[in-house]
Chains A and B, each alone.
Chain A
Amino acid sequence: MYFDSIIAGFGGQGVLLMGNLLAYAAMEEKKNVTYMPVYGVEMRGGTANCTVVVSDREIGSPIIHSPVSAVAMNLPSLEKFGPRVKKKGLLLVNSSLVPEKEIRVRGVDCLPVPSRELALEAGNERLANMVILGALVEKSGVVSLKALKKALYPGLDVRYHSMIPGNQSAMDKGAEFVRNGGR
């Protein structure tokens, strides 16, 4: 079993947390995992992306040029990482922020996710990142949704643990969206 993903967006969209949670979930399932953050030079408001590699064998490079999957939370991320996804790979795009006409990547399984709308349904539009993460996990099967939800405990600071149920229902929303065929 081998899986990797580049998760990218603006700083503040919570992409590093997404990567961290995925890593914790993989660890929970006793898989090998690496998480590699890449920040813009500026501390805030810049672009952020991270790479997560999950495998049942020893992981070599934590840095991947052509990933098996990618998550683009905004247009610049789609433009940068979309074309790098491996053939027959998986690309999740935040269609709440990226106009439909821009989402054209050939040779990959591309899934637009209206994350903000789904997050609103879950009760908090700021949980858009959790929606997409739930969709990524459901679509790829890299870890179980259960492990992902559990990852919130070690992944979030204790101060935010009261928000775990909200985060979990946002993850459910994303997974449900995938199960319903991306609608």
Chain B
Amino acid sequence: MARSNTLLVKGNEAIAMGAIEAGCRYYFGYPITPQNDIPEYMSRHLPEAGGTFLQAESEIASINMLLGAAATGARAMTSSSSPGISLKQEGISYLCGSQIPGVIVNMSRSGPGLGGISPSQGDYFQATRGGGHGDYRTIVLAPHSVQECYDLTMRAFDLADRYRNPVVILGDALLGQMKEPLKPRKHRGKAVDKDWALTGAGGREPRLLKSLYLSEGELTKHNWMLHRKYRRMRREIRYETVGVEDAKLVVVAFGSVARILKNAVSMAREQGMAVGLFRPVTLYPFPQAVLRRLAERVNRFMALELSTGQMVEDLQLSVGPDVVDFYGRPPGSIPSPDELYREIRKNYRKRIG
């Protein structure tokens, strides 16, 4: 092929490829639709890279195997979809408490309960609010293209190591199944010195990784330290904007909805409406300050989600509740660009004129 360096792959495969390129050598998972391409790819290609793929007996076992492997300093990943991610929450809480890095992929499906296999963004709260017990956060990255699935997975490993914290990649069924050209690139992240890793106490004091703090004041100190770390993560904030410079209405969406919205926004602009798009790439930390600055000259915002309203709360906290409208829908069908265009037009006429 002419573009021999370009591949046509699914979002799920791009995640697996990005992980291996980033040095992930341990993958633990349990089958669940719609993310099975990830374990399937890993089972074939991780051994080639000198790594280990292990199909665990449950999601719970998977996340705990990750905890074990990552505690030794290795780069490890697990992936699942919504119901399976719920089961992993205990382990994610322990990873945060023990400050063990790891990458957790949620190619989310719809709920609650067994729900369905159609795309949904109903796991936003779970991903951005910690998800398990305790006062903790994970960095959350939301790709919207196959290339981003690859690039952000590599980045997720670097961020996890840098902050000694789990990183969640939040995609959905649409992104996982979609194929697009992918340009694989070399991973250039710097290796982090893991002076905390458990490697056997040879010639040094024994090390301990734990989340239990019972002595007077110890847990308070630990939590403040974690809190400071979460604040430091703000320097990792990423987002994309389209046409916000002259916008009177800025629509805000992430992941696959942002993708569909790109068409709707260009349709609106072709019709002469001053509409811009803001797409958060990091859902935690949320680009609050950037949006606040944007609100100094943009009057109206509109959140669009594949849920009945979750990210909209972060938007309201950023720009104020009075200037935000919402369009969302529960799982079952994916909105078409035309539908989203009509919603934007309706809102624009009402709010801008």
Contact = CB atoms under 8 A, between A and B. Distances in A.
A and B touch in their complex, CB below 8 angstroms: yes
Q: How large is the interface on B (under 10, 10 to 19, 20 to 34, 35 or more residues)?
A: 20 to 34
Given A27-B6, A60-B260, A60-B261, A35 B174 contact: no
A126 interface: no
25 contacts: A20-B8, A24-B8, A27-B8, A30-B3, A32-B181, A35-B178, A36-B178, A37-B179, A41-B117, A58-B262, A60-B261, A60-B266, A60-B337, A61-B262, A61-B337, A62-B178, A62-B180, A62-B259, A63-B260, A64-B336, A65-B336, A66-B338, A153-B1, A154-B1, A154-B8
A28 interface: yes
A62 B174 contact: yes
Q: Please indicate which of the listed interface residues A33, A34, A61 has the most CB atoms of chain B within 10 Å of its own CB.
A: A61
B182 to A, nearest CB: 10
Contacts of A61: 259-260, 262-263, 336-337
A40 to B, nearest CB: 11
B177 interface: yes
A154 B7 CA distance: 9
Contact of A34 (B3, B179, B338): B179
Interface of B: 1-3, 6, 8, 117, 174, 177-181, 259-264, 266, 334, 336-339
Nearest to B262: A60
Given A58-B262, A60-B337, A61-B259, A36 B3 contact: no
Interface residues of A, number: 25
Interface string A53-97: 000001111111110000000000000000000000000000000
Given A63-B334, A64-B336, A65-B337, 7 more contacts: A23-B8, A27-B1, A60-B262, A60-B263, A61-B337, A63-B174, A150-B1
Interface string A40-51: 010000000000
Contacts of B264: 60
Contact of B174 (A36, A65, A153, A154): A36
Contacts of A34: 178-180
Contacts of A150: 1
Contacts of A30: 2-3
Contacts of A63: 174, 260, 334, 336
